[in-house]
């Protein structure tokens, strides 16, 4: 049972979470022209497009033919969350004449590539973007939804406008207490321990593990902090850092029988101090401050109930300089107000 927001879906009611009995009125696609392909994956092809009515650039996500239920879930969740802080806006849903392809039209973000971002971002940038991501996730969780695929590829960042948007709700699901969920979700490097040991009664805290992995990437300038070659190796990478003592008590606490023929997984490993991962050249040393590592420690916990919630994480002292940023008036004495010409 989640520590917070456990019963929000019951409170919000069936209309909110019942996506199966939900009919979608699909618009016709003439309004949008595809410009070029910008991404894609197992479930979709993603294009940059133009809205011929208002000449806005947009994103057109063409869903590969999957079960109707999965399309309804993604549209329902996007409809429920659109307008929330740092949530990608769903602008339209279109279907082609043949009725074979369903597409989601969303706002376009001039996204900075993750590898470039890691090199670019200063300490304040890291504080700012992780804070914005936690703000999005606290909103999502407060509305009874787990994203289940938080990773750099699903966090669009327009660095010039300092704009962050959480995208791709194709794996997102409504949280209900004491339900066993699928464990083949997420992307390997960002999978929480509960998925890797097959514990199905997980909750929103799944997403906080993934935020912790992204936070570690940014602090230590490593593209993916836990980079496993398969699900067993993924868990092994985690054991080697967090140690096996707390892993064993986690398994016992939740009565998880974890068997593996991977004998490296049956060894004992000591917990590594986070300072061990500070980037070698001095330039980045100042990113992994005591405060940063304290917050990281509280996100990357085996026991999902012990992980900070998105709301608790936002009140960590690490974010002090960015938490009140919105409250300060823009352009005060000596304050550089960035050119917001193109930043709507």
Ligand X SMILES: Brc1nc2nc[nH]c2c(Br)c1Br
Question: Can residue 211 be called a binding residue for ligand X (CB under 6 A)?
Answer: no
CB atoms within 10 A of CB 190: 27
Q: Helix, strand or coil for residue 144?
A: coil
- Least Å distance, CB 77 to ligand X, is 13
Contact call for residues 202 and 194 (beta carbons, < 8 A):
yes
* H or E stretch covering 91: strand 90-95
Cα 192 to Cα 183, 189, 214: the distances in Å are 10, 9, 12
Q: Which CB, 39 or 85, lies closer to ligand X?
A: 39
Least Å from the CB of residue 109 to ligand X: 4
17-25, 105-113, 128-136, 332-340 -> range binding ligand X (CB under 6 A)? 105-113
Stretch that binds ligand X, among 63-71, 102-110, 245-253, 259-267 (CB under 6 A): 102-110
Question: Binding ligand X by CB under 6 A: which of 35, 38, 50, 183?
Answer: 38
139 closest CA partner among 109, 164, 114, 102? 164
Give yes or no for a contact between 72 and 24, defined as CB atoms under 8 angstroms apart.
Answer: yes
Looking at the DSSP bridge assignments, the partners of residue 157 are: 164
What is the closest distance, in whole angstroms, from the C-beta atom of residue 148 to ligand X in the complex?
16
Residues 6+ away with beta carbon under 8 Å from 197: 235, 251, 256, 258
Relative orientation angle of helices 245-253 and 231-242, to the nearest 10 degrees: 120
From the candidates 138, 149, 168, 207, which is the catalytic residue? 149
Residue 139 DSSP SS3: helix
C-alpha of 262 from chain center? 29
Q: How many residues bind ligand X (CB under 6 A)?
A: 12
Among 93, 109, 195, 295, the residue binding ligand X under the rule CB under 6 A is: 109
What 8-state DSSP symbol labels residue 181? P
Question: Could you please report the per-residue DSSP string of 149-168?
Answer: --SGGGEEEETTTTEEEE--
Among 78, 84, 102, smallest CA distance to 25 is for 102
Q: Which residue is nearest to ligand X (CB)?
A: 39
Contact mark string toward ligand X, 143..162, x via CB under 6 A:
-------------x------
* Residue of the chain from 2, 46, 214, 239 that contacts ligand X (CB under 6 A): 46
Task: Find the binder of ligand X among 2, 59, 78, 239 (CB under 6 A).
Answer: 59
Among 8, 60, 77, 88, binds ligand X (CB under 6 A): 88
Residues 279-308 that bind ligand X (CB under 6 A): none
Between 88 and 292, name the residue whose CB sits nearer to ligand X: 88
Under the criterion CB under 6 A, does residue 111 sit at the interface with ligand X? yes
Q: Is residue 149 annotated as a catalytic residue, yes or no?
A: yes
| Beta carbon of residue 172, minimum distance to ligand X (angstroms, whole number) | 13
Measured from the CB atom, is 36 or 255 closer to ligand X?
Answer: 36
- Least distance (Å) from ligand X to the CB of residue 222? 22
- Near ligand X by CB under 6 A: residue from 12, 39, 92, 159: 39
Q: How far apart are CA 174 and CA 152, in angstroms?
A: 22
Choose among 58, 59, 106: nearest CA to 82.
106
Which of residues 167, 218, 288, 308 is near ligand X by CB under 6 A? Answer: 167
Whole-angstrom Cα distance, residue 175 to residue 85?
Answer: 20
Q: Which one, 38 or 183, has the nearer CB to ligand X? A: 38
Q: How far is the CB of 274 from ligand X (least distance, A)?
A: 32
Positions marked active-site: 149
Residue ranges that bind ligand X, judged by CB under 6 A: 38-39, 46, 59, 61, 88, 106, 108-109, 111, 156, 167
């Amino acid at each position: 049972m989640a520590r917070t927001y456990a019963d929000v879906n019951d409170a919000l009611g069936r209309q909110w979470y019942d996506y199966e009995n939900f009919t979608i009125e699909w618009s016709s696609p003439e309004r949008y022209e595809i410009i070029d392909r910008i991404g894609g994956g197992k479930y979709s092809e993603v294009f940059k497009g133009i809205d011929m009515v208002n000449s806005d650039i947009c994103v057109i996500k063409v869903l590969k033919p999957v079960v109707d239920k999965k399309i309804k879930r993604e549209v329902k969740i996007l409809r429920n969350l659109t307008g929330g802080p740092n949530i990608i806006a769903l602008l339209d849903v279109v279907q082609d004449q043949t009725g074979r392809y369903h597409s989601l039209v969303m706002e376009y973000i001039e996204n900075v590539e993750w590898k470039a971002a890691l090199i670019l971002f200063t300490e304040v940038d890291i504080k700012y973007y992780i804070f914005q991501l936690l703000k999005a996730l606290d909103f999502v969780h407060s509305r009874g939804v787990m994203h289940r695929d938080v990773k750099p590829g699903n966090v669009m960042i327009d660095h010039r406008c300092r704009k962050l948007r959480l995208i791709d709700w194709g794996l997102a699901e409504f949280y209900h207490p004491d339900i066993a969920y699928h464990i083949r979700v997420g992307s390997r490097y960002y999978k929480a321990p509960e998925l890797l040991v097959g514990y199905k009664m997980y909750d929103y805290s799944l997403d906080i593990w993934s935020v912790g992995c992204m936070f570690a990437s940014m602090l230590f300038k490593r593209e993916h902090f836990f980079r496993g070659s398969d699900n067993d190796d993924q868990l092994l990478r985690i054991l080697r850092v967090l140690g096996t003592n707390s892993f064993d008590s986690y398994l016992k606490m939740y009565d998880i029988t974890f068997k593996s023929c991977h004998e490296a997984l049956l060894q004992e490993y000591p917990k590594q101090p986070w300072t061990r991962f500070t980037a070698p050249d001095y330039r980045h040393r100042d990113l992994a401050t005591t405060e940063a590592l304290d917050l990281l420690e509280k996100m990357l916990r085996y026991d999902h109930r012990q992980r900070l919630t998105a709301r608790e994480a936002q009140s960590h002292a690490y974010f002090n300089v960015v938490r009140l940023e919105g409250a300060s008036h823009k352009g005060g004495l000596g304050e550089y107000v960035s050119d917001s010409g193109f930043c709507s």
